[in-house]
Amino acid sequence: MRTGTSKADAGQGRGHSSPFFRRNPVLFIILLGVLLLVSALVSVLVGTLGPIGPGHPERISFSQAVDALFGGGGDMYVTVFWELRIPRVLLAGLVGASLACAGTAMQAVFRNPMADPFIIGVSSGAAVGASSAGLLGLTALVGVAAPALAFVCALATVMVVYKMGTVGGRVYVDTLLLSGVALAAFLGAVVSFLIYFAGEDYHQLIPWLLGSLAAARWSYVAMIAVPAVAGTVTVLLFGRELNALLLGEETAHNLGADPEFLKKIMLMTAALMTAGAVAFCGIIGFVGLIVPHMMRIVVGADHRKLIPAATLFGASFLIWADALSRTVIQGEELPVGIITALCGGPFFLYLLRRSRGTGVMS
């Protein structure tokens, strides 16, 4: 829907590679799919036990790694790859795809390039749930009970924000935004109080607050896959309507879209995707903010192209970030949220600098 993208494209068509991929979006999306497959394979082979990486405490050959991937090569190698490495890579891909897709939807709904999946308080609500899990004697990163509590609290927070931003059945995005910021600040104070009150017992919560994939397991992959796949399909189905929404609600209505229904369905879908990701992996920032922008620069603002591009690249981005987080310091593992923040912070400043002269943030 080119009529809905002219304003956004005007601030984005500066790169040398963008025109080619905007004319050939299918080719670019295929390349992103190939990149995702290669990223997943390389990430599985990267680590303290593998043919790629620091080689401490043990380095194995490519042939041994391939044997382990296909069920041979010794019980220890098979366990490392199939019970630890592969679920972690799949979880990183699903979480990255969820956050990127949800961020794309939120930026369209708010018509604000600064929007991200956490803007309506999902992360703060989940943090309260995870912190409360420790207070109730649960373990924050082991089992299903604590992630389930984080998921429920995240959705409850979204419902409160949605209620505050809705008047007479109409969603006011400005009020929704302010409500999300205010409630997030309040819940952040609640989390700080819980951590202070519990003292040393909350050391196990720190990796979750910083974003970590260390607790990956097959059950987590299965549970996150449901909202990730269903949410991505839902957002993609409304790509044309999201293009119309960029022109304003009145114009979108004249073009045949239902802005109120669209805002509600997108908020609900993005909240479910984000809550699922945050509940199991913690607060992994900037993925839902920078990935949509990076893909918008390349393929343009047409959501029928932008959504699949952002989803695929978000998965690859977080897979590489996680691989870096567990290999950059020998013998230590950084929370992946630190890596995404180190990448996202400078890019965020670049966007601010880029938009200062044009008034449009791409």
The rounded distance, in Å, linking the Cα atoms of 360 and 112 is 10
Instruction: With 0.85 as the threshold, say if the pTM is over it.
Output: yes
Closest among 66, 44, 116, 139 to 270, alpha carbons compared = 116
Closest among 47, 119, 144, 168 to 266, alpha carbons compared = 119
Closest among 257, 260, 264 to 239, alpha carbons compared = 257
Closest among 171, 170, 128, 168 to 151, alpha carbons compared = 128
- The separation between CA 268 and the C-alpha centre of its own chain, rounded to angstroms, equals 15
**pLDDT for residue 53:** 66
Q: Hey, how many other C-beta atoms are within 10 angstroms of the C-beta on 349?
A: 10
Q: Which two tokens stand for residue 306?
A: 């932008």
The rounded distance, in Å, linking the Cα atoms of 65 and 78 is 9
The rounded distance, in Å, linking the Cα atoms of 290 and 310 is 10
Cβ atoms of 57 and 337 closer than 8 Å? no
Q: Which parts of the chain have pLDDT scores under 50?
A: 1-17, 140-142, 358-361
**pLDDT for residue 200:** 65
Q: How many CA atoms lie within 13 A of 125 on its CB side?
A: 29
Helix H, strand E, coil C: the string for 92-158 is HHHHHHHHHHHHHHHHHHHCCCCCCCCCCCHHHHHHHHHHHHHHCCCCCCCCCHHHHHHHHHHHHHH
Q: In this predicted model, what pLDDT tens digit does every residue of 190-215 receive, in sequence order?
A: 988 888 876 666 777 788 889 999 88
- The separation between CA 354 and the C-alpha centre of its own chain, rounded to angstroms, equals 24
Q: Which two tokens stand for residue 184?
A: 């997030």
The rounded distance, in Å, linking the Cα atoms of 178 and 72 is 55
Q: Hey, how many other C-beta atoms are within 10 angstroms of the C-beta on 100?
A: 32
> What is the domain partition of the chain in residue ranges?
2-355
The rounded distance, in Å, linking the Cα atoms of 246 and 4 is 6
Bridge partners (DSSP) listed for residue 46: 52
- Residues 6 or more apart whose CB falls under 8 angstroms from that of 295 comprise 306, 309, 310, 313
**pLDDT for residue 118:** 93
**pLDDT for residue 158:** 93
Q: What CATH number is given for 2-355 in this structure?
A: 1.10.3470.10
Helix H, strand E, coil C: the string for the chain is CHHHCHHHHHCCCCCCCHHHHHHCHHHHHHHHHHHHHHHHHHHHHECCECCECCCCCECCCHHHHHHHHCCCCCHHHHHHHHHHHHHHHHHHHHHHHHHHHHHHHHHHHHCCCCCCCCCCCHHHHHHHHHHHHHHCCCCCCCCCHHHHHHHHHHHHHHHHHHHHCEECCEECHHHHHHHHHHHHHHHHHHHHHHHHHHHHHHHHHHHHHHCCCCCCCHHHHHHHHHHHHHHHHHHHHCHHHHHHHCCCHHHHHHCCCCHHHHHHHHHHHHHHHHHHHHHHHCCCCCHHHHHHHHHHHHHCCCHHHHHHHHHHHHHHHHHHHHHHHCCCCCCCCCCHHHHHHHHHHHHHHHHHHHHHCCCCCC
